Amino acid sequence: MATSQTLGKAFGNLLGGRFRVVQTIADDTYTQTYLVEDTVAAEMPRWIAKSFCLINKTNLQLDWARSLFRNEVPKLQQLSDRSADFPKITTYFEQEEEFYIVEEAIDGTRLSDEIATGRLYNESEVISFLQQLLASLHTAHLANMVHGDINPRNLIRRKHDSTGNHHFVLTNFAVLKGIYAPAAQNGVVLGTPSYMPFEQALGHFTPSCDIYALGLTAIQLLTGLHPSQLVRREDLNLLNWQMGSTVRSELAAILNRMVKHHPEDRYQSAQEVLYDLDNLPSPQTNNDFQMPALAIGENTGRWAIITVCLLGIGWATLNFQQIQQLFPISTLPTPKPTVTIAPTQPANPVVNYELRQTLRGHNGWVRAVAFFPNGFSFASGSYDRTLRLWNVRDNQPFETLSKHFGSISGINAIAVHPNGNTFATACIDKSIKLWNFRSGEPVRNLNGHDGQVYGVAYSPDGKTLISASADKTIKLWNWRKGNLLETFAGHQDKVVSVVFHPDGKKFASASFDKTIKIWDISTGTEILTINGHTAPVNAIAFSPNGKLLASGSQDQTVKIWDANTGKLLKTLSGHTGGVLAVAINRDGSVIASGGADKNIRLWNVKTGQSMQVLSNHEAQIFALSFSPKDETLVSGSADRTVKVWQLLAK
């Protein structure tokens, strides 16, 4: 029902002295939406004008609404200028104690209309849907804007855009409702109850609220079930939506974590979800083999089984005949009832690391850890946008950098200068940030990449810095002057790890294109491409003498290579998930690897044997670093903790 103030806005009325009303699109109690045309612009384009009328029009409420309107709408306008994933806002104004926003009229279809047709999304479509909208949310959250009302009605799929894509546009930020009613007052809820986590109803708006609502929307696209039809199993803290679903367990795990009841159990940032989606195994390489579900009748099934058995017997017979040709049975000695003593094997060396301390304080995934040259200080970086400096001696953080929210972006990697006075962070906002260790103050930003920066490393002489990015390039910097010296291109997918060779004349890079490349610094050319991994390569490390290179991959293996020739020397198997981190200790005798299976494995470099498994983390391990002074190892994990491990004396 319209209020008295809005009844007169009929066809032809002028809003803001410029926009003529063409049609009333929606008329609710406190908000109205009009199709308007711009009488000032020569081509008279059409826009959407949204008006907001206060519930209680007191002077106090008017002042409060004006303050919110003037503070929040400019942020939305800036957001719309940066990305086509949000409606373009052309202007905003107040007229007759009502507040107006004029934004683009999007040519597209609401997701709610698509859902009404009954068509369900398949896995691939849901993953693409999530990736696009999570990228949009990441942009909004970096601007400290929480949408707060994600649901199918507020998602409009463009018919086309300048790139030919059909992206969804995020409309109707919940903060706009606050213009006509303060949050949690007057019975007005900022958001749509069916898609809201409980803390949002209490007035707590955080990025994880958007992740929760997006997860529910994705589940609805997969199952056709409205959130009100889902029942939460309190014993498992899960929504019961997978009954009869054929969704892969890895994707289901991501969706389940998005919609956890307690906010601390949820993903804390859109970037965390994107990381897990990017690292989903493809259906073809899934190690969990399942028999295909065949719709066949009983008799047909029996004949199928018989046929398979006959084929199997035939194959075995042929292979047995081939073996006979190679090893005739007549030449095989008759077994004797004697005890066979196996040849003596060298004893498998064992190390004995124990967990010394679990360090808490980060509120997001710990993506990076790095020791300083003194051997007892180290830094940890997280997706919570903070960088913490720790002292191993007392296991306490002596400094937390970027204390206020939004001062820096989430951190993917940390590199420490050889003299320990400065260090660099690789950030998801496409920059490299340089810090002074003693003051804890930022020194400068290095900008130039077109994608988030995944890896960073100082040269052994400390004069230059290299960075690896999702834009498929590596860049070489004079970090003191902030100058870009060289860009190295050649990888076919994002580059996620870089490391200098100890001689400082070359470096290695690892990429999601499944390769490792060795580059010459002086010529800027590629020396060697190393192939062998069957999935993206996540991490690399040179041995201290520079002769060996270790790599960890999504194919669940660690490989040891000859750093000069690229020859594969050993493949280390044992992880049951992708290997996300590798580190080599100070004397080059031990490799530590961390994986998606939540385990850290310690390997003997000479023998390739697994010496110990550390399984105290509760989520995947993203980062590892050995102390340069002793055998201390630190690890960073998606469980938001840093753990300190020490080798026990023999």
Asked if 14-104 and 353-647 have one fold, the answer is no
Per-residue pLDDT tens for 144-173? 889 989 999 999 998 865 444 568 999 988
Per-residue pLDDT tens for 10-48? 667 888 888 889 888 876 656 788 899 888 876 667 888
**Superfamily of segment(s) 353-647:** YVTN repeat-like/Quinoprotein amine dehydrogenase (2.130.10.10)
Give 209's pLDDT tier (boundaries 50, 70, 90): very high
Task: Report d(CA 522, CA 503) in Å as an integer.
Answer: 12
| Neighbour tally for 79: CB within 10 Å | 21
Asked if pLDDT for residue 328 goes beyond 90, the answer is no
Give 333's pLDDT tier (boundaries 50, 70, 90): very low
Task: Report d(CA 505, CA 502) in Å as an integer.
Answer: 8
Per-residue pLDDT tens for 538-591? 999 999 999 999 999 999 999 999 999 999 999 999 999 999 999 999 999 999
Sheet of 557-562: strands edge to edge? 537-542, 548-553, 557-562, 568-573
| Neighbour tally for 67: CB within 10 Å | 10
Name the nearest CA neighbour of 369 among 594, 137, 196, 159: 594
Residue of 116 and 316 predicted with greater confidence? 116
Task: Report d(CA 367, CA 355) in Å as an integer.
Answer: 19
**Cα separations (Å) of 340 from 331, 335, 336, 337, 343?**
20, 11, 10, 9, 9
149 with 219: CB under 8 angstroms? no
612 with 606: CB under 8 angstroms? no
Name the nearest CA neighbour of 429 among 456, 400, 401, 408: 408
Question: Which residue's structure tokens are 């994107």?
Answer: 274
Rounded to an integer, the average pLDDT of 112-121 is 89
For residue 500, give the H/E element and its range. strand 495-500
Asked if pLDDT for residue 344 goes beyond 70, the answer is no
Asked if pLDDT for residue 312 goes beyond 60, the answer is no
Rounded to an integer, the average pLDDT of 134-144 is 90
Name the nearest CA neighbour of 613 among 598, 600, 622: 600
Per-residue pLDDT tens for 364-374? 889 999 999 98
Q: Is 650 helix (H, G, I), strand (E, B) or coil?
A: coil
Task: Report d(CA 389, CA 92) in Å as an integer.
Answer: 45
Return the CATH number of 109-281, one of 3.30.2350.10, 1.10.510.10, 3.30.70.360, 3.40.50.620. Answer: 1.10.510.10
Asked if pLDDT for residue 301 goes beyond 80, the answer is no
Three-state secondary structure string covering 217-282:
HHHHHHHCCCHHHCCEECCCCEECCCCCCCCCHHHHHHHHHHCCCCHHHCCCCHHHHHHHHHCCCC
The pLDDT, as a whole number, for residue 166 is: 64
Name the nearest CA neighbour of 577 among 561, 550, 553: 553
Percentage of residues in the chain with pLDDT exceeding 70?
A: 79
Rounded to an integer, the average pLDDT of 614-620 is 92
Task: Report d(CA 350, CA 374) in Å as an integer.
Answer: 28
The pLDDT, as a whole number, for residue 338 is: 35
Give 449's pLDDT tier (boundaries 50, 70, 90): very high
Per-residue pLDDT tens for 389-405? 888 766 554 455 543 23
Task: Report d(CA 284, CA 289) in Å as an integer.
Answer: 10
DSSP state, 492?
S
The pLDDT, as a whole number, for residue 208 is: 92
Task: Report d(CA 358, CA 617) in Å as an integer.
Answer: 9
Per-residue pLDDT tens for 278-293? 888 766 544 333 323 3
86, amino acid identity: F
Rounded to an integer, the average pLDDT of 426-435 is 90
Task: Tell me the domain boundaries of the chain.
Answer: 14-104, 109-281, 353-647
410 with 383: CB under 8 angstroms? yes
Rounded to an integer, the average pLDDT of 455-471 is 96
| Neighbour tally for 23: CB within 10 Å | 10
Task: Report d(CA 336, CA 334) in Å as an integer.
Answer: 6
From 249-253, 318-322, 476-480, the region with the lowest mean pLDDT:
318-322
Rounded to an integer, the average pLDDT of 624-637 is 94
The pLDDT, as a whole number, for residue 453 is: 93
The pLDDT, as a whole number, for residue 598 is: 93
Q: Which residues, 6 or more positions from 589, have their beta carbon under 8 angstroms from its beta carbon? A: 604, 605, 606
Domain 14-104 indexed as CATH 3.40.50.150 = no
- Mean pLDDT of all residues belonging to the chain: 81
Residue of 237 and 102 predicted with greater confidence? 102
The pLDDT, as a whole number, for residue 517 is: 97
